[in-house]
Amino acid sequence: MGATVASRSLNAASARRTIATKLETFLRETRLCQVHFADSSVAPPPLAYCTNFPRLSIPIEGFHAMELPVRGRSQLITPGCGDAVFVPGQAWNRPDWADPVTVITFLFGAKQIGVSLVTHRGGDECSAQAIKTSVQGAHDIPSRNILTALAALTAETPTGRLPKLVTESLLYACLRLLRAPENHTTRKAVHSYEVLCLYVQENFQLPLTREAVARRFGIAPTHVSRLFRQEGLMNFRDYVNLVRMNRAKFILARYDVPLKEVAASCGYSDVAYFCKVFKGITKTTPTQYRDRETVIAGSPSTLTV
């Protein structure tokens, strides 16, 4: 079920310190009991949370009930403090948010690591409070290697201490990056552009507009446009469509689901418009793309959600 998330008004340094302190306390007082691994073996259902990049979530208070795909089946889990959930890039999970929970989530993007601390009081209509920060410049070599090792475990049936040790190592690496002095040589415009990109990558299923994103970050819509033109060499709408089409190509190549569901999973309510955008970017229709990928990879399994 959905949740309305309101971000607390903290400056970047305060948000970074707050999350780092929470993470440090967790690592000092808690040992991981279990690591849950999602995969991409089941097509994402409505309201599932999908990103192109891997995510790691750790509940630090309460239980973070959710649905996630594991080896061809959707499973319901209720990880609590001492558990972790790793969702590889292109995979999904669907949080419940019915019960009170506080959770730290890391999104490992290509150019930065996004970190959020979300506190939800529970209940269908109850809003959540979120503190967000990011580590610019993506990962250093140790954190990238640890993340690669954790992603490799997704393809196995991980047991014993190894998944927990690798996950704890990644959390310590993230804590070190959060505690490190920020690189002030990065221009403010580049930093702002990367923050906006991360937001789009996390929320591409939503009805994103330039004006809505501008309100979310307290800046002018014209400034959003300027950042994408100058730093990304494309306009805002083109970037949103590009992120969505990358997700659409993955779904079309992997799952035998109707185009209406593919469009909805990528943030489009109008299937005809989705097909128009898809053809404009890929130079082929969604059906032709699926048929071509089926020939290359073999017929995809019909998966039941």
Question: Is 35 within 8 Å of 158 (Cβ atoms)?
Answer: yes
pLDDT tens-place string over residues 202-241:
889 888 999 999 998 889 999 999 999 988 888 999 999 9
Strand order in the sheet with 49-50: 49-50, 92-95, 66-70, 73-77
| Mean pLDDT, residues 59-65 | 94
Tell me the CATH architecture of domain 187-305. Orthogonal Bundle (1.10)
pLDDT tens-place string over residues 242-267:
999 999 999 999 898 899 999 998 99
Residue type, 286: P
The pTM is what?
0.80
Question: Is 76 within 8 Å of 31 (Cβ atoms)?
Answer: no
Question: Is 119 within 8 Å of 97 (Cβ atoms)?
Answer: no
Flag whether pLDDT at 274 surpasses 80. Answer: yes
Q: Average pLDDT, whole number, for the chain? A: 85
Flag whether pLDDT at 9 surpasses 50. Answer: no
Which one, of 65, 49, 61, 74, lies nearest residue 25 by Cα? 61
CA angle 79, 102, 264 (to 5 degrees): 75
**For the chain, how many residues are written?**
305
Question: Is 77 within 8 Å of 65 (Cβ atoms)?
Answer: yes
| Mean pLDDT, residues 6-35 | 83
CA 215, CA 197: separation in Å to the nearest integer? 15
Tell how far CA 262 is from the center of its chain. Answer: 18
Name the residue ranges covered by the structural domains of the chain.
Answer: 5-179, 187-305
| Mean pLDDT, residues 186-197 | 80
